[in-house]
Amino acid sequence: MPRLPIPGEDSGNWGGILNDFLLVEHATDGSLKPNGTLAAKYTKPAQGIPRTDLDDDVKTALAKADAAANNAAPDATASTKGAILLTGDLAGTATHPLIAAGVVTGGSNGTIASGTITDDNIHATAGIAKSKLAPLSLVNSDIASGAAIAQSKVLNLTSDLTNKADVAHTHDDRYYTESETDTALALKLNTSQKGVANGVATLGSDNKIPSAQLPAIAINDTFTVASQSAMLALAAQRGDIAIRTDTNKSYVLSSDTSATLADWKELIASGQVTSVNTKTGAVTLLPSDIGAVTATVNGSAATSLAITTGVTASDVGALVAPTGTPTIGQVPTVSTVSPLALGWSTPSGGGASNYAPTIYNNGEATFPREAITSTFALTSGQLQLTYFTAQKSESSAYARFVTSNVAAMGITFAKVGLYSVNTSTNALTLVASTANTTSLGAAAYTPYKPAFSTPFVRTAGNRYAIGILFVGTTVPVIVGTAGEWTINSLPPRVCALLNSQSDLPASITDASLTSAPTRFYSDLSL
């Protein structure tokens, strides 16, 4: 940046430094550069600064000074100071003109033009007669707190006070004292306390308490359920009844906790049969239970005999072997005449292959193990159903199936469920299920026996279906028996499929099912 030489420094460079500095504003010939900052500076003319070069305010001031010097001051205006003549109606000074005394007069001539006179316009000592003022309405705030107003100045005050009683006076018995009134009022009910919380109830037009002021009234309900789990899931309250169709028993809730089994108390009628030969529940009597009576069925000894109401031990002792030769699908039945005779008949809905699964000492199977003919792969998200008719009335705690050569992998959902079948509509209702266990079927050639979350009591003669559902990357191959699509779908169904499932449905319509070519093997046990 150009600069001036520094004294005592810049030895030998003074000329160059000074020339660089001067060339900022000067041309090489020494004249000022036309575009430099110095060229724009004002240059005072030799004859002085002309008036045209002055600021407007300076010009105005000079004009006023010239006028004053020449005694030719302009007249004053609303925005410009000027000459004011203090003659005629004006007095005072030029800066504070006043109206001359005696100039403003009454009458039609010389009066002040109409305007609003405020309190500031009236002199503090002005003596304005009351007659010159319009009537005033004084309020309490207009009167000073210390004002001494005579009673005579207040309209009717003296006469009104004369008619008042003295301080010391008494009332007769027709009147209550202040104390008596306060006591009586303290015993009364406030209207705000009627029909509200912490208050008192009121009566309606029918002389009854409105329902809105009454607490909720518990009305006992009666429920019909098919399992213990369904009973515990009820939204019940104390005193409600649950009728269990699975056990033919009724229970009453003794508390407000319906999910607690111990709070459901069984209802037992006086004189009701509670056990048969020490057995309770759905009783199946063996020959040994009734005196070791043995009957033969198709040349073989019968292992059990269902006893119905009205059949005694003497009746059973009169049993004779079935007559005739059974056809395929027929099962032994008991005659209604005495002596009781065994005969042969075809169960309603189909043959024995559909209704007579293998019976074990503990549990029963959907069909005999020796009937297993094939293996088949399950499909992810597809519910596989195998139907059977229960031959025993007993509790089902487990459902078993067997894997074949392919194990499950990448499973996110795996359950086994037990469904009851409505023989009228063929609809299915879930009565028991296992927990979601992703390790089911993880090994090949392995039986799996998952437990139901809540055991279910089967009823002999009722129709059921076991369902199995896997969701995952690789679902297992399980053992079963092959069939034919059309035949398997005829009533009563042998097996069926339900596609696109992520969990065991609580209910299934028969119309939503599709036919299946195979049914898997499964058995139930205690």
DSSP 387-424: EEE--S--EEEEEEEEB-S---EEEEEEEEEEEEE-TT
Provide the residue type at 452 as one letter. F
Alpha-carbon distances, residue 499 vs 55, 201, 436, 469, 496 (angstroms): 100, 61, 18, 10, 10
What confidence score (pLDDT) does residue 45 get? 80
Q: Does residue 524 surpass a pLDDT of 80?
A: yes
Q: How many residues does the chain have?
A: 526
Q: Is the model's pLDDT at 100 over the cut of 70?
A: no
Who has greater pLDDT, 155 or 383? 383
Q: If pLDDT is split at 50, 70 and 90, which confidence band does 427 have? A: very high
Q: Which pLDDT does position 57 carry in this prediction?
A: 86
More confident residue, 74 or 231: 231
d(CA 19, CA 6): 14
To which residue do tokens 């203090």 refer?
86
Quick one: 15 exposed, middle or buried, by C-beta within 10 A (0-12, 13-18, 19+)? exposed
Q: Which of 246-260, 282-296, 328-342 has the lowest mean pLDDT?
A: 328-342
Q: Which residue has the higher pLDDT, 28 or 322?
A: 28
For position 308, what pLDDT does the model report?
A: 42
Task: Yes or no: say if 222 and 237 are a contact pair by the CB < 8 Å rule.
Answer: no
CB neighbours (10 Å) of residue 119?
5
In tens, the pLDDT along 46-66 reads 777 887 777 888 888 877 777
pLDDT for residue 216 is more than 80: no
Is the pLDDT reported for residue 290 higher than 80?
no
- pLDDT computed for residue 329 by the predictor: 46
pLDDT of residue 244: 93
Band (pLDDT 50/70/90 cuts) for residue 257 is confident
**How confident is the model at residue 355, as a pLDDT?**
40
From the number of C-beta atoms within 10 Å of its C-beta (0-12, 13-18, 19+), residue 475 rates as buried
Beta-bridge mates of residue 97: 92
Confidence of residue 306 (pLDDT cuts 50, 70, 90): very low
Residue 231 has pLDDT above 50, yes or no: yes
Residue scoring higher pLDDT (283 or 406): 406
Among 332-346, 404-418, 490-504, the minimum mean pLDDT is found in 332-346
Reply yes or no on whether the pLDDT at 40 is more than 70: no
Q: What is the structure's pLDDT at 363?
A: 86
256 vs 360, which has greater pLDDT?
256
Beta bridge partners of residue 265, listed in sequence order: 252
- pLDDT-derived band at 379 (thresholds 50, 70, 90) equals very high
Scan for tokens 């063929």, then name that residue. 426
Residue 86: band (very low, low, confident or very high) from pLDDT cuts 50, 70, 90: low
Highest mean pLDDT among 298-307, 354-363, 387-396 belongs to: 387-396
**Token pair belonging to 79:** 């925005």
pLDDT score of 166: 72
Give the CA-trace dihedral at 302, 304, 308, 310, to 10 degrees.
70
- pLDDT attached to residue 453: 94
Query: Distance between CA atoms of 399 and 434, rounded to whole angstroms?
Result: 9
| pLDDT > 60? residue 44 | yes
Is pLDDT at 446 greater than 90 in this prediction? yes
473 confidence band (pLDDT: 50, 70, 90):
very high
Looking at per-residue confidence, does 145 or 73 come out higher? 145
390-246-350 Cα angle (round to 5): 25
* Residue 31 pLDDT level (bands cut at 50, 70, 90): confident
Residue closest to 89 by CA, chosen among 80, 81, 77, 97: 97
Most confident of 95-99, 216-220, 223-227, 356-360: 223-227
- Of residues 381 and 26, more confidence is placed in 381
Measured distance CA(447)–CA(392) in Å, rounded? 23
Mean pLDDT rounded to a whole number for the chain = 78
Burial class (CB in 10 A: 0-12, 13-18, 19+), 113: exposed
DSSP H helical ranges for 242-394: 313-316, 352-355
- Segment 459-478 shows an average pLDDT of 94
Radius of gyration over every alpha carbon of the chain, rounded to an integer in angstroms:
60
Is pLDDT of 399 > 50? yes
Instruction: Report the percentage of the chain scoring pLDDT > 90.
Output: 27
For 364-378, the pLDDT digits (tens) are 898 888 888 889 899
pLDDT reported for residue 150: 80
Which of 148-162, 334-348, 414-428, 457-471 comes out lowest in average pLDDT?
A: 334-348
- With a CB cutoff of 8 Å and minimum separation 6, the contacts of 162 are none
Cβ contact 128:122 at 8 Å: yes
